[in-house]
Chain A
Amino acid sequence: MISVGLDAGSATTKAVLIKDGRKITQTIRPTAFDFISAAEIAYQEVLDHAGIGKKDVDHVYATGYGRNSIQFADKAISEITTHAKGVYHLYPEVNGIIDIGGQDSKVISVNDGKVTDFLMNDKCAAGTGKFLEYTARALEVPIDDLGSLAFDSETPASITSMCTVFAESEVISLRTRGFTKQDIAAGIIESIARRVAVMARQLELKQNVAFVGGVAKNTAIKSALEKELGISLYVPAEPQITGALGAALYNSN
């Protein structure tokens, strides 16, 4: 049986093609303005990679922010459920998931791949990729350099604003007070880790926790989160595709 999972995220669109429960291929591409065409292209891409025609695909499942707009999918599933499924496939022992994406962050409690509880932050940018984007801009460094800068800090600055807009001005005020880029970068990373850790503690995630989503590629955030929670986190090789993978696996048990 062949099925494809499409994760129509706000920043990137992901597709995973599986055959008989095993991943064959995947793709990640920018969503840009049009969710639907991004999904169509991603779909075509995995078909091409796998050398498979549309008619051979048994199921297409959609997840992610734009899940309801993808009319050619058999079903739309929330990204909370699909992340749980995808992560379970990779690490069956996991009972907690932290997902930091561009627009939101989620903390999910799981048991045998089934969601038992979850928390989301999406009304406010603090604790999301957006927070990194804005504060990196205020620091005038590319977002990808934040991590390596932070690793060089010995005395991280403290960023206390809960609100991204204020945090941005806080960063600027730290700059005028002579803090180094390294220390401010470390402060930014600690701040986001602290916010997300509060959510993880609310769900009592204590061990076997996976860290997924685009921000999981940032190793500085991973280690800040690990320090904050006092555990080590599982990070898949491709932390962005667990949603699409879980969607593709929706029907298999």
Chain B
Amino acid sequence: MLILIRKRLNMHKIPMLFDKMHCFKSLENLKSAYIERIHQVSDERRSGKKSVGTFCLFVPDEIIFAAGADRMILCGGKNDTISIAEQYLPRNICPLVKSSFGSIVNDGCSGVKSCSHFSMVDMIVAENTCDSKKKMYELLDNYVPTYVIDLPQRPDTPEALKYFVTELDKFRDAMEQLTGNKVTNERLRQEIISSNETRKLLHSLYELRKRDPSPISGVDMLKILQKQYFLSPGELKEHLRMLISEVESVEPEGAHRPRIMISGCPMPGGNTKVPEIIEDKGGVIVVEESCTGTRSFWDMVDEDKEPMLALAERYIEIPCSCMSPNDRRIDNILELARDFKVDGVVYYTLQFCHGYNIEKYKVQQALKKAGIPMLFVETDYSNSDVEQIGLRVDAFMEMLS
């Protein structure tokens, strides 16, 4: 399908940015990583190790790994499983929720295949974020045991932090119960150090994208970002290290292309439509203010503090639109725009994601004040709007150059 989109968009003489560009070997390796990981997790489960599925950045990996469990992200990016979900869920909720739910409850009767990892978890660790997910989790519990972490929604108060600490404590207990392993402070500290390492690697990779022209395309970058919560931390780090050393040695050539920041909803695996269009139309994505992007790794966990408190402090500050107020996100967007020298922002939302759709207004006002042009794209997982988005992006690129 993507080839088809490419063809449709590229019939004209739009110079391809990454035509002659480096083909990163480490990204090629990622192709086989999926199947290897599936084998790895099924071996682990056969030997008694538990695996949990997550949907959101608010669930601290560190606690899962400290309990000796493995984890895989269950955020769906596939269009095919949406129709399965629509047998249970209303049509007018976000495609990410529908796709994920459809992938999990799929019994194969309709001839649609879910990716294997959706059926390889012993427990789902959910979180009370947006309404659609919250309510979907209630149904999901009928299929897979689903543990829900509650989140305070006004994150900037001391009471909120206290509450979040107790919620994380309960979650730790639940993980201990699932695995039969004790989550000691010592284990937590090790996992915090390990996760911080990953965060630092991602920072170094993003640092390289500050170069002009950027040595790596946003579409390539997304390939690894979408695997961030799928691979084991060890494998991820290995892939990141390889990629960093490859990217470091690239000498990108060519003229300046509009440097684009994507800001908004997550872009889970299977959903690369908008980034593809942006880069096919001559832009280059240099930073993603997204859960498949900076929100996942920007802040470190304090390694010197009491681990559960340090985790709560770090995670509660994730600038997700389900939080209120969420001005931290606006500040972050402005800072990223400056640091990555972006020429324009594509504000990307999924249909019916009210949080990010409403927050658009504030972001737009702030960007306007800062003199940074913004294009708003609201979409779903289907390919029906490829032409329309293409036109907007064309016009946006013409406006920026």
- A binding-site residues for B, Cβ under 8 Å: 65, 67-69, 71, 75-81, 104, 114-120, 122-123
Chain A residues closer than 8 Å to B385, beta-carbon distance: 123
Known: A80-B391, A123-B385. A68 touches B9 (CB 8 A): yes
- B328 contacts the other chain (Cβ, under 8 Å)? no
State whether B373 touches A68 (Cβ < 8 A). no
Interface secondary structure of B, over-half rule: helix
Instruction: Give B399's nearest chain A residue, CB to CB.
Output: A115
Which residues of chain B from 178 to 232 have a CB within 8 Å of any chain A CB?
none
**B255 beta carbon closer than 8 Å to chain A:** no
Interface magnitude class on chain B = 10 to 19
A80 to B373, CA, bound (A): 15
Residues from chain B with a CB closer than 8 A to the CB of A77 are 394, 398
Contact B12 A78 (CB under 8 A): no
B91 on the A face (CB < 8 A): no
Inside 8 A of A71's CB, which chain B residues have their CB? 11
Residues of B close to A123: CB separation below 8 A: 385, 388
Nearest to B10 among chain A residues (CB) is A68
Q: Is the CB of A81 within 8 A of B373?
A: no
- B11 to A78, Cβ gap below 8 A? no
Are B398 and A78 in touch, CB under 8 angstroms? yes
In-complex Cβ contact of A80 among B9, B13, B376, B395 (8 A): B395
Closest CB in chain A relative to B376 CB, distance in Å: 8
B376 partner residues in chain A, CB cutoff 8 A: 119
- A68's partner among B12, B395, B398 (CB-CB below 8 A) is B12
Contact present for B388 and A115 (CB under 8 Å): no
Is the pair A79, B398 in contact by a Cβ cutoff of 8 Å? no
**B314 at the A/B interface (Cβ < 8 Å)?**
no
Task: Provide the bound-state CA to CA distance between A250 and B398, in Å.
Answer: 12
Nearest CB of B to A196, in Å? 17
Minimum CB–CB distance from A226 to chain B (whole Å) comes to 26
Q: Are A81 and B395 in contact (CB under 8 A)?
A: yes
The verdict on A68 contacting B399 (CB below 8 Å), with A79-B391, A120-B392 known, is no
In contact, A114 and B399 (Cβ under 8 angstroms): yes
The answer to whether B8 has its CB under 8 Å from any CB of chain A is yes
Residues of A with C-beta under 8 A to B399? 80-81, 114-116, 118
Least CB separation from A81: chain B residue? B398
- 27 sample A-B contacts, Cβ–Cβ < 8 Å, listed by A number: A67-B12, A68-B8, A68-B9, A68-B11, A68-B12, A71-B11, A76-B12, A76-B13, A76-B394, A77-B394, A77-B398, A79-B391, A79-B395, A80-B391, A80-B399, A81-B395, A81-B399, A104-B388, A114-B399, A115-B395, A116-B399, A118-B395, A118-B399, A120-B388, A120-B391, A122-B388, A123-B388
Instruction: Tell me what chain A mostly uses at the interface: helix, strand, loop, or mixed.
Output: mixed
Within 8 A of A (CB), among B332-389: 373, 376, 385, 387-388
Interchain CB contact under 8 A, B391 and A78: yes
Closest to B376 in A: A119
**Which residues of B have CB within 8 Å of A115?**
395, 398-399
Most chain A CB within 10 A, of B8, B385, B392, is at B392
Q: Spell out B's residues near A (CB within 8 Å).
A: 8-9, 11-13, 373, 376, 385, 387-388, 391-392, 394-395, 398-399
Contacts of A114 in B (CB 8 A): 399
Nearest to B378 among chain A residues (CB) is: A123
Smallest CB separation, B385 vs chain A (Å)? 7
A75–B395 touching, CB < 8 Å:
no
A74 CB to closest chain B CB (Å) equals 8
Q: Pick from A65, A68, A114 the residue with the most CB of B within 10 Å.
A: A68
Complex CA gap A80/B390 in Å reads 12
Residues in A neighbouring B8, C-beta threshold 8 A: 68
Chain B residues near A65 (CB-CB < 8 A):
387, 391
A65–B386 Cα gap in the complex (Å)? 12
B391 contacts A117, C-beta separation under 8 Å? no
CA separation between A78 and B385, bound complex, in Å? 16
Interchain CA distance A77-B373 in the complex, whole Å: 19
B391: A residues at CB distance < 8 A? 65, 78-80, 120, 122
A75–B15 Cα distance when bound, in Å, is: 11
Which of chain A's residues have a CB closer than 8 A to the CB of B9?
Answer: 68
Whole-angstrom CA separation of A75 from B13 in the bound complex:
7
- Alpha-carbon distance between A69 and B388 when the two chains are bound, in angstroms: 15
17 other A-B residue contacts (CB within 8 Å) besides A65-B387, A122-B388: A68-B11, A68-B12, A71-B11, A75-B12, A76-B12, A78-B391, A78-B394, A79-B391, A79-B395, A80-B399, A81-B398, A81-B399, A116-B399, A118-B399, A120-B388, A120-B391, A122-B391
Whole-angstrom CA separation of A123 from B395 in the bound complex = 17
Closest 3 CB pairs of A and B: A80-B395, A78-B395, A78-B394
Closest residue to A71 on the B side, CB-wise? Answer: B11
- Tell me the nearest residue of chain A to B375, going by C-beta: A118
CB-defined contacts of B395 to chain A, threshold 8 Å: 78-81, 115, 118
> A122 — which chain B residues lie within 8 A by C-beta?
388, 391
CA distance A114 to B395 in the complex (A): 11
Task: Give the chain B neighbours of A80 by CB distance below 8 A.
Answer: 391, 394-395, 398-399
Assess the A117–B373 pair: CB atoms within 8 A: yes
* Cα(A76)–Cα(B398), bound, Å: 11
Report chain A residues within 8 Å CB of B387: 65
CA distance A116 to B396 in the complex (A): 9
> How distant is the Cα of A65 from the Cα of B387 in the complex, in angstroms?
8
* Chain B residues near A117 (CB-CB < 8 A): 373
B337 → A minimal CB distance (Å) = 17
Of chain B, the residue at the smallest CB distance from A76 is B12
Q: Among B376, B385, B395, which residue has the most Cβ atoms of chain A within 10 A? A: B395
In the bound complex, what is the Cα–Cα distance between A123 and B380 (angstroms)?
Answer: 12
Contacts of B394 in A (CB 8 A): 76-78, 80
